[in-house]
Amino acid sequence: MGGTASTIINQIVVMFLLMFVGHLLYKKKILDDGGTRQLSALLLNIVTPAVLITSYQRPFDQKEALDLLGAFGFAFVTFVVVIGMMTVLYGKSKQPYARDARMCVIFSNNGFMAIPLLQALLGSQGVFLGSASIVTATVLAWTYGVSMLRGSRQVNFYRILMNPGTLALFGGILLFCSPWKLPGPIFRAVNYLGSLNTPLAMLVLGVYLSQAKVLSCLKDKTVYILSFLKLIVAPLLSMAVLYFLGAECTVAMALVIGIAAPSGVISAMMAQMFDTDYLFSTRIVAVTTLLSAITMPLLITAAEFLWGGVPPLA
């Protein structure tokens, strides 16, 4: 547990250092609201899809493919469970932050917080299987999330199929299943774009924190309620579902690590893109990130106990 806690705390320190740079850029007027919106669009439309494509740039293996397929199925079920929980709690709420609250609890910052832990605890196999949660979250954010933030009940199949997340998913799986891989120069270019994900996302979040009244949110009981739902209730509920569905140890651990991560920056970026309360989302992201230093090691330890320990590194 000590190594797990140390990895999480190191990631949180890095996150807040990058966010502080974003804060300074905004205060010095190097970045303004328009520039931040453009960076958010760049992240959502180009950088995140690049991450998805590169995660599947590996030789095809039948067992890995079956494990990944199972991970996708289990990941989708856990998202449905959490979406159902938040729909019951906030679906009919008249509060102006209701849609943003649902986004903050449903979607995790698993790309930045989970990947180092997956690498440390489960090796490359854990990162590969954990990508199922990241990909599922990205596709759901661009489909369910966009529909919810727009307040639309209509299903736009064109948007579902043609959004950047879904296209990147199809492209990545095609590359994984086929003998053809991206040529070296193209792969490096896409990989460089994907490597922008963490620094750009944290800079944007730092600007958001400059605009939000972060200290005042510590007096807001809604922040603590949503943090409890995100960091405790949703992971425990998901763990119970995975256990009773018989998820294999490596798959379960890979998914639990992602589920236990704090609220994702994508919640705030999409809130700004669709003109909902992105400052509210920013406060939830900041508080859950801090509290996750306590909750993530505890939840991962509980999962290790439930599934009989961490499997050997692969």
What value does the mean pLDDT take over residues 165-178?
Answer: 83
More confident residue, 310 or 62: 62
**Is pLDDT of 314 > 70?**
no
Tell me what pLDDT residue 121 has: 76
Tell me what pLDDT residue 312 has: 55
Tell me what pLDDT residue 155 has: 57
Q: Which of 55, 303, 47 is nearest to 194 (CA)?
A: 47
Tell me what pLDDT residue 4 has: 64
How does pLDDT run across 180-192, given as a tens digit for each residue?
A: 888 889 999 999 9
| CATH assignment at residue 251 | 1.20.1530
More confident residue, 156 or 304: 304
Domain contains 29: no
Domain contains 191: yes
Tell me what pLDDT residue 160 has: 63
Domain contains 313: no
Domain contains 210: no
What is the crossing angle of helices 110-140 and 197-211, to 10°?
90
Question: What residues contact residue 42 under an 8 Å CB cut-off, 6+ apart?
Answer: 200
Beta-ladder partners of 263? 108
Domain contains 291: yes
Written as one letter, the residue type at 128 is F
**Is pLDDT of 85 > 90?**
yes
How does pLDDT run across 245-291, given as a tens digit for each residue?
A: 999 988 999 999 999 999 988 898 888 888 888 888 988 988 898 88
What residue has token string 């039948």? Answer: 62
**Is pLDDT of 313 > 90?**
no
How does pLDDT run across 190-220, given as a tens digit for each residue?
A: 999 988 887 888 888 788 778 776 677 777 8
**Is pLDDT of 127 > 90?**
no
Count of domains forming the chain: 1
Share above pLDDT 90 across residues of the chain, in percent, rounded to a whole number: 27
* DSSP summary character for residue 157: H
Rounded Cα–Cα distance for residues 283 and 222 (Å): 11
Rounded Cα–Cα distance for residues 10 and 297 (Å): 13
Tell me what pLDDT residue 243 has: 95
What is the domain extent for residue 115? 2-17+35-199+217-306
More confident residue, 286 or 101: 101
Residues in the chain: 314
Domain contains 63: yes
Residue 84: pLDDT band (50, 70, 90) is: very high
Domain contains 176: yes
Question: Chain-wide mean pLDDT for the chain?
Answer: 85
Rg (CA), the chain: 18
Domain contains 24: no
Q: What are the tokens at 255?
A: 């998914």
Rounded Cα–Cα distance for residues 8 and 299 (Å): 12
